Structure 1
Amino acid sequence: MLDGCTTADPVKYTSLQSSSQLSPKEKGEFKYQYTASDADFSKYKSAIIDPVEIYHGDDAQFGDTSGKDQRYIADYIDKIFPKEISRDYNLVQSPGPDTLRFHITLTGVKKSIPVLSTLSHLSSVGLVANAGLQAAGENGTAYGAVYYAVEVYDAATSRLLYAHVTLQTPDALDFTASFGYLDAAREGVRIGAHHLIRKMESLSKKPATNIQESTGSIGNLK
C-alpha cells in the first residue's frame, strides 16, 4: 500500500517548447510555470484548442501505461478541456487579434492499482491513512494520476503568454475514482480542466489602478 502512495512529481520536460521559460514553484499544483510579464489576458475573448499531443521525450512519465491507454487519456483531455474553456471563451478555428491558442501535452499517466485502491479507501485503517494524505495534499493510496503541460499562446503572433506543468489526481478520500485503473487519471483530467479555467480567469482580472482612485470612488458613494 505504501508503494502505491508514491507519486513522482512532474519534471520540466525538456522537449516542451516552453521548457526553457518554465520556473519551479515551491507551492501549489502547478510545479513549473511561466507568465509573460506584459500579457493582457483581459482582451482575449476567443480560443483555438490544438489536438492534444502525447509527449515522447526521454523524460516522459508514462511508466508501464500502454500506448493505447495513453491515447485514451489524450482523447479524454480532448473531450473535457474544450468544455471548460468554452465557458469563458468562444471556440474558433482561425486566429484573430483577441484569440488565445491552447496547446496541451500529455506527459505521463500513472495507473491506479485496482481492488487495492478501493479496499484501502473502504477499510477503517485506509480511511485514516487517506485522511492524512488528503490533509498533506497527497494522492490516495494506490491511486493513479495524470501528468500534462498547458501552453497558451497569442493565436495571431504565436507568442507564448502562459504555461504550466502539473499532475492531477482525485482527493485522497474520493473512493469513487478507485475502481478502474484509469479512473483516477480521468478524474485528474476533469479537475485539471476546471483549475485551468480558474487560472485563466485570475490572469484576466485587472487590479485597481491606484489606492487614491479606489478611495475616491468610496467617497463618491457617500
Structure 2
Amino acid sequence: MFTHKLVPLLISVTAALSLAACAGVQPVAYTAISSSSQLKQNRDGDSGKVPYKYAAPVNWSRYIQVMLEPVAVYQGTDNQFGDVKNEDRTELANYMAETFAKKLAKRFDTAKQAGPNALRIKLTLTGAEKTTPIVGQVMHFDIAGNLYNGVQAVRGGQGAFGGSVSYAVEIYDGSSGKLLKAYVSKQYPNAMNLPAAFGSLSAARTGLDKGADALVDQLH
C-alpha cells in the first residue's frame, strides 16, 4: 500500500520540478547597460543569484558617502519583464529606490552630488517574474510542492511558480567616475516563504529587500 501511494507522489514531484525549471528566467549581461562589455560570467558559488559581475580592487572603507541615482527601468530588447505591465515596472522601480536608499543609509551618509570619498550608484531594474496565480500559493500546501520547495530552500533556489526580480548594479568612484563594481542579479524569496507567495509582486519586492541587504554587505 505504501508503494502505491509513493509512486503518484514521485510523479507529482517530478512534474513540479520540470514545470518550475522551465518557468524561470536567467538574467543576461544586458547589452544596453553601461558596464555590459565589462561584465564577465561569475564562476563563484553565488552565480545562481549573481550570474555576471565585474570588480576592480577597492578599499571600500575610504568611502563614507553615497549618491544614489534615480532607478532606471531597463528598455533594452533583452529585458526580462515578460508580461509585467509598465505600471508594475514603475511600482517596482519606486520600491527599489526607496528600499536601497534606506539600506545604504545605514552604512553611508547621503551625498547630493558626487565628490571625494563618495560612491555613485546606478540601479537598473531589468526584469521581473510574477508569482503564478493560485498555483504559486497551492504549491506551499500541496505535499509534492512542499517537498520541491523544501529542497529549493536548502539549495537557495527559487520556489515553484514563484516570482523574482532581476536588476543591474553599477558602482562608480564619485570623483573620477571610474567603474569600481558592477553586477547583474536575480533575487527571490526563500522557497518556503509563504507570505511572499501571496500577491503577484510580493516575491519581487522581497527579492529587492534581499538585494539591498546583499549590496550593503559587499561595501564593508
Amino acid aligned to 2:78:
D
Q: Supply the RMSD in Å over aligned alpha carbons.
A: 1.2
**What residue in structure 2 maps to residue 108 of structure 1?**
127
Aligned partners of 1:63 and 1:3: how far apart in 2? 17
**What residue in structure 2 maps to residue 34 of structure 1?**
54
Amino acid aligned to 2:26:
D
Q: Does 1:120 align with 2:139?
A: yes
Amino acid aligned to 1:168:
Q
Q: Does 1:166 align with 2:176?
A: no
Amino acid aligned to 2:42:
K
- How big is the shift at 1:151? 0.3
Aligned length: 200
**What residue in structure 2 maps to residue 20 of structure 1?**
37
- How big is the shift at 1:158? 1.3
SS state at 2:152 partner: helix
Matches within 5 A, 1:45-84: 45-84=64-103
2:150 pairs with one of 131, 136, 159: 131
**What residue in structure 1 maps to residue 208 of structure 2?**
189
- How big is the shift at 1:105? 0.2
Matches within 5 A, 1:197-208: 197-201=216-220
Aligned partners of 1:137 and 1:191: how far apart in 2? 13
**What residue in structure 1 maps to residue 5 of structure 2?**
none
Aligned partners of 1:7 and 1:191: how far apart in 2? 18
Q: Deviations over 1:160-187 (max 9, x none)?
A: 1111101000011111100101110010
Matches within 5 A, 1:135-146: 135-146=154-165
Q: Deviations over 1:32-79 (max 9, x none)?
A: 111113x32221000000010011111110101111110010000011
TM-score by length of 1: 0.86
Percent identity (aligned): 34
- How big is the shift at 1:125? 2.2
**What residue in structure 1 maps to residue 26 of structure 2?**
9
TM-score by length of 2: 0.87
SS state at 1:174 partner: coil
- How big is the shift at 1:4? 4.2
Aligned partners of 1:150 and 1:57: how far apart in 2? 16
Q: Does structure 2 retain, via aligned residues, the 8 Å contact 1:112–1:182?
A: yes
